[in-house]
């Protein structure tokens, strides 16, 4: 194992406390810190020390793929780390967004010479595990519930949207199209009418809260088509390809396929491509977006996902208790969240404090984690 230095992304919606506090730095930070990236994606690769100088993990994997990745992983994914581990800290809503499936990403990347929609030729399913209470919008809910929520505002212009939703899942596409294609000159008036309505309840509160930051964005109403969930620490949400979602507030550990393909649909000043988003969205009800942890051994849980790009385990160790041995495939990234831990893979041993991470090669042995605290271990999902 070797210490891994992650990269912080300073997106405007980020927290000025969560990541700094995790790493034991002064709070508040100088600016927003939205994500800590612990992987080898070319957008912000983590680094490993070599003779006093930082060397990107991407460079190391490319130079020694058999050592770092292993023959089986290279045969499945090529010479790249197929997963990206993050700490995500949101103090404001992220954009409404979805990600393409593997075939859509491959075709889209080949055709998108300017890389405006498809930065990578890979899909981006993702799992987020809450570290704090975490608010999120994730996947379409029952259209009848959405119809009732929007109808309650009593805004006549929204009649066609309500009618589409009352047609069941078959009407979801038309409802989303109508809202995201709303004439630009009329959007402020639409949101103002929604804010002026006497509707009450959690849906109205959600719309009004989003409208504070986005007073001319029909995404305020698209949000009402989605499940609004509040995760407790340890609960997770699984977002497969084509599912519309937005993270609203909170801190979590996120693992995903190593891709930065994002198609936005609102709640953002960034580029929105309605036609492409409509093409990749899956207009189906997501029955249950919340994933509970599954115990796999003493002090160890995981959140099963139906992809082989990644797997995530959480290890909790009590003071004076035994360590944990994990025989996991491929390269491993270990993040210490709480306490003080030692991580040994038979090749090297590292000591981790909160907010520190380590990386180990596929050619090393099983992980042995000791000490007291909590760690998140990211690996590929090959079995």
Show Cβ contacts of residue 336 under 8 Å, excluding neighbours closer than 6 positions: 352, 353, 354, 355, 356, 357, 373, 374, 375
* Whether pLDDT at 58 is above 90: yes
Beta carbons of 261 and 110 less than 8 angstroms apart: no
Confidence (pLDDT) at 8? 98
Angle at 119 between CA 70 and CA 248, to 5 degrees: 100
Average pLDDT over residues 30-53: 96
Q: Does 2.60.120.10 match the CATH number of domain 294-379?
A: yes
Q: Which two tokens stand for residue 22?
A: 């995790």
**pLDDT higher than threshold 90 for residue 289:** no
- Report d(CA 194, CA 174) in Å as an integer: 20
Per residue in 91-105, pLDDT (tens digit) is: 999 999 999 999 999
pTM recorded for the entire structure: 0.95
Question: Helix crossing, 143-151 with 172-180: angle to 10°?
Answer: 40
| CATH of the domain spanning 2-136+230-262, picked from 2.40.160.60, 3.40.50.2300, 2.60.120.10, 1.10.4080.10 | 2.60.120.10
Question: If DSSP codes are grouped into helix, strand and coil, which group holds residue 93?
Answer: coil
Q: Which helix (H) or strand (E) holds 48?
A: strand 47-50
| Tens-place pLDDT, residues 156-212 | 999 999 999 999 999 999 999 999 999 999 999 999 999 999 889 999 999 999 999
Kindly report the average pLDDT of the chain as a whole number. Answer: 96
Render pLDDT for 137-151 as a digit per residue (tens, 0 to 9). Answer: 999 999 999 999 999
* pLDDT-derived band at 20, boundaries 50, 70, 90: very high
Residue 246, CB-side half-sphere exposure with 13 Å CA sphere = 25
Q: Could you give the residue range(s) of every CATH 2.60.120.10 domain in the chain?
A: 2-136+230-262, 294-379
Looking at the annotation, which residues are catalytic? Answer: 264
Residue 126 counted as an annotated binding residue? yes
Q: Is 97 annotated as a binding residue?
A: yes
- CA 127 from centroid of its chain's CA atoms: 6
Report pLDDT for 383: 79
How high is the pLDDT of residue 292? 92
pLDDT in tens, 214-234: 999 999 999 999 999 999 999
């Amino acid at each position: 194992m070797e210490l891994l230095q992650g990269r912080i992304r300073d997106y405007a919606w980020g927290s000025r406390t969560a990541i700094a506090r995790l790493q034991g730095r002064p709070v508040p930070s100088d600016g927003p810190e939205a994500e800590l990236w612990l992987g080898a994606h070319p957008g912000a690769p983590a680094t490993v020390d070599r003779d006093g100088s930082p060397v990107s993990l991407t460079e190391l994997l490319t130079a020694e793929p058999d050592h770092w990745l292993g023959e089986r992983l290279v045969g499945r994914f090529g010479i790249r780390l197929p997963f990206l581990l993050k700490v995500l800290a949101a103090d404001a809503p992220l954009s409404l967004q979805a990600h393409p499936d593997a075939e859509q990403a491959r075709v889209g990347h080949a055709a998108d010479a300017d890389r405006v929609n498809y930065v990578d030729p890979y899909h981006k399913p993702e799992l987020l595990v809450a570290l704090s209470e975490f608010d999120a919008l994730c996947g379409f809910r029952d259209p009848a519930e959405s119809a009732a929520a929007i109808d309650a505002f009593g805004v006549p212009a929204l009649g066609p949207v309500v009618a589409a939703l009352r047609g069941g899942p078959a009407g979801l596409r038309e409802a989303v199209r109508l809202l995201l294609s709303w004439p630009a000159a009329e959007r402020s008036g639409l949101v103002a009418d929604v804010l002026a309505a006497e509707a009450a309840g959690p849906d109205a509160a959600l719309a009004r809260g989003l409208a504070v930051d986005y007073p001319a964005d029909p995404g305020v109403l698209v949000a009402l088509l989605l499940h609004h969930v509040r995760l407790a620490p340890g609960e997770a949400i699984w977002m497969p390809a084509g599912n519309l979602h937005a993270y609203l507030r909170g801190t979590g550990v996120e693992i995903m396929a190593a891709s930065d393909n994002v198609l936005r649909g609102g709640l953002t000043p960034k580029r929105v491509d309605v036609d492409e988003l409509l093409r990749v969205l899956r207009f189906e009800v997501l029955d249950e977006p919340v994933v509970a942890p599954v115990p796999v051994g003493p002090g160890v849980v995981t959140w099963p996902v139906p992809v082989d790009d990644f797997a995530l385990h959480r290890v909790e160790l009590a003071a004076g208790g035994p360590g944990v041995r994990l025989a996991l495939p491929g390269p491993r990234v270990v993040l210490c969240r709480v306490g003080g831990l030692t991580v040994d893979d038979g090749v090297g041993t590292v000591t981790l404090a909160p907010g520190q991470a380590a990386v180990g090669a596929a050619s090393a042995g099983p992980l042995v984690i000791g000490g007291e605290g909590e760690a998140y271990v990211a690996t590929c999902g090959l079995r």
